[in-house]
Amino acid sequence: MAKPGLQPGSTLDGFHIEELIHRGGMARLWSVTRPGTDVPLLMKVPILGEGGDPAAIVSFEMEQMIMARISGPHVPHFVAAGDFAVHPYIVMERLAGKSLLPRLANLPLPYEEVAEIGWKAATALEDLHRQHVIHLDIKPSNILFRPSGEAVLIDFGLSRHTQLPDLMQEEFRLPYGTAPYMAPEQLLGVRHDPRTDQFGLGVLLYFFSTGERPFGESERMSTMKKRLWRDPKPPRALRPDYPPWLQEIVLRCLEVEPAWRYPTAAQLAFDLRNHSQIKLTARSERLKRDSFLTVMKRRFNPDQPKDWTPRTVAMPLPAAPIIAIALDLSEEAKVTNEALREAASRALTTMPGARLACLNVLRQSYISTRDTVLDEEGHNKHVNRLVALQHWAQPLKLREGRITFHVLEAVDPAAAILTYAEQNRVDQILVGARANSFARSLLGRISAKVAGEASCTVTVVRPRRQADGGGGDAEPAEKAGETASAG
């Protein structure tokens, strides 16, 4: 299971741990070396101790998958990743350049410099989008520059790969991001549109050219949602010498509707590089925000069209059927879990395009203060369950992208399974029933509730009855007439 921490001087998978460079809210960054590797390396390790955010584990899973699939000058070079069963980490090149964060002390910057920064960042976004990734957390600290000048995007923990399952979307319904930079659609839980990154870049350009953020600093959801109907103050109202061409670009990036922004980051980059050729519209001359009447119409008009459809080369693939498997990881459920694996294998044979979502519920007490993140040996409970799910699935030999693992934290396990299935449009649920006890006559308390209330097909699986009392094979209940369907 996952080790509690690293220390300078230790070695992990051939990487020599040196100094701790940064400790963030969700991960630590270590300087590391490896024999035979001359370039500087950086190891990112998630924080799994007491008080850790479960979302940190899921976002780290996503970052491991995404970084292994992207390349080029606009992202850090990926070196290696560590398994959660031993110690999770990501090793990447350590970039020599600095982020935009130190520039905050010098705001506002000259307009031409802001355009140059925007052009480089938009070029990096276009390259990322062509690799089917939407960043979803564009901000100054996540944009670095190589000594050769190219912008580099970092920190993909909140990102979305349109050809991989979106674990953040599936497990957490609250929007994740950096409050001042989040797009309107992001606040509504939409994570599939590359134009969302334009909004974040637009906020950055506005901030760097005026010294003020267009929507303030608030992290309260009620305040953040005002950007669904309230436009920012035009930059020219803050700085009379503000170039019309730059206001045209910035306000277009900050449009509420993604369809009103640039179709691609490449077109945004072109305008930033060739602003003398921009066709100016009424945006470029505005000095006031929209009128109160216009804002109220926008806010309370239920028929106002909202186009959240992606319009870029990174189009999502059609959704495949999803089969959710609810697993009890206790020792008593070992035989039942074998039966569930057999049922899953049969389902995959009949539905070769299906994806498996392996679920386990980490039960919480009604009084949350009684719960701890770590077990008696100091290991993270969430990670332990995640590793156990992966171990259960190994015999299925499914490639990455066809299977995902989810540890849900809830007081009521059945309710958590039902909520997951409803929110993620699961087509079928496989759930185990106890082989013995009075609960079996009711299909088990959890399986009974799932079978009775699910809006999709539910297959209740139980071990095969043993005539000799020994440990024979397992048999899914579908053969015994215990398959339940709802909806």
Q: How far apart (Å, rounded) are the C-alpha atoms in residues 437 and 206?
A: 65
* pLDDT score, position 93: 96
Q: How far apart (Å, rounded) are the C-alpha atoms in residues 176 and 160?
A: 12
Measure Cα distances from 286 to 12, 249, 300, 330 in Å: 57, 13, 24, 64
288 alpha-carbon distance from chain centroid: 36
* pLDDT score, position 54: 73
* Residue 122 three-state SS: helix
* pLDDT score, position 312: 41
Per-residue pLDDT of the chain (487 residues; tens, 9 = 90+): 445 468 899 999 999 999 999 888 778 999 999 999 999 999 999 887 665 567 788 889 999 999 999 999 999 999 999 988 888 999 999 998 888 999 999 999 999 999 999 999 999 999 999 999 999 999 999 999 999 999 999 999 999 999 888 888 777 766 788 899 999 999 988 899 999 999 999 999 999 999 999 998 877 887 888 888 888 999 999 999 999 999 999 999 999 999 999 999 988 998 998 888 888 999 999 999 888 888 888 788 755 545 455 444 443 333 457 899 999 998 888 999 999 999 999 988 888 778 888 999 988 876 555 567 777 777 888 888 999 999 999 999 887 768 888 898 888 999 999 988 887 778 899 998 865 554 444 446 888 889 889 988 999 998 876 444 444 444 444 433 344 444 3
Same domain, 248 and 362: no
- 231-240 burial, b at 16+ Cβ within 10 Å, e below that, comes to bbbbbbebbe
Element spanning 180, H or E: none
Domain end: 77, 93, 109, which one?
93
From the number of C-beta atoms within 10 Å of its C-beta (0-12, 13-18, 19+), residue 437 rates as exposed
Query: Does the residue 315 lie in any domain?
Result: no
pLDDT in tens, 292-308: 888 888 788 755 545 45
Domain end: 93, 122, 154, which one?
93
Residue 132 carries which side chain, given as an amino acid letter?
Answer: H
Same domain, 344 and 412: yes
Structure tokens at 18: 């040196």
Domain end: 300, 330, 353, which one?
300
Task: For strands 11-12 and 355-363, give the pairing.
Answer: unpaired
Same domain, 77 and 129: no
* pLDDT score, position 437: 52
Query: Does the residue 46 lie in any domain?
Result: yes
* pLDDT score, position 185: 92
Query: CATH number, domain at 133?
Result: 1.10.510.10
Q: How far apart (Å, rounded) are the C-alpha atoms in residues 57 and 39?
A: 28
Same domain, 168 and 280: yes
pLDDT in tens, 314-343: 433 334 578 999 999 988 889 999 999 999
Query: Does the residue 2 lie in any domain?
Result: no
Sequence-ordered alpha helix ranges (H) in 282-373: 292-300, 334-350
Domains: count for the chain: 3
Query: Does the residue 4 lie in any domain?
Result: no
Question: For residue 485, what are the β-bridge partners?
Answer: 457
CB 232 within 8 Å of CB 215: yes
Which residue range is the domain that position 387 belongs to? 322-485
Same domain, 458 and 376: yes
Query: Does the residue 314 lie in any domain?
Result: no
- Give residues with Cβ within 8 angstroms of 443, minimum separation 6: 433, 451, 460, 482, 484
- Statement: the pTM of the whole predicted model exceeds 0.85: no
Query: CATH number, domain at 49?
Result: 3.30.200.20
Same domain, 386 and 428: yes
Residue 344 carries which side chain, given as an amino acid letter?
Answer: A
Same domain, 209 and 332: no
Query: CATH number, domain at 327?
Result: 3.40.50.620
Peptide bond into 232 cis (omega under 30): no
- Give residues with Cβ within 8 angstroms of 13, minimum separation 6: 80, 82, 86, 87
Query: Does the residue 66 lie in any domain?
Result: yes
For 315, other C-beta atoms within 10 Å of its C-beta total 14
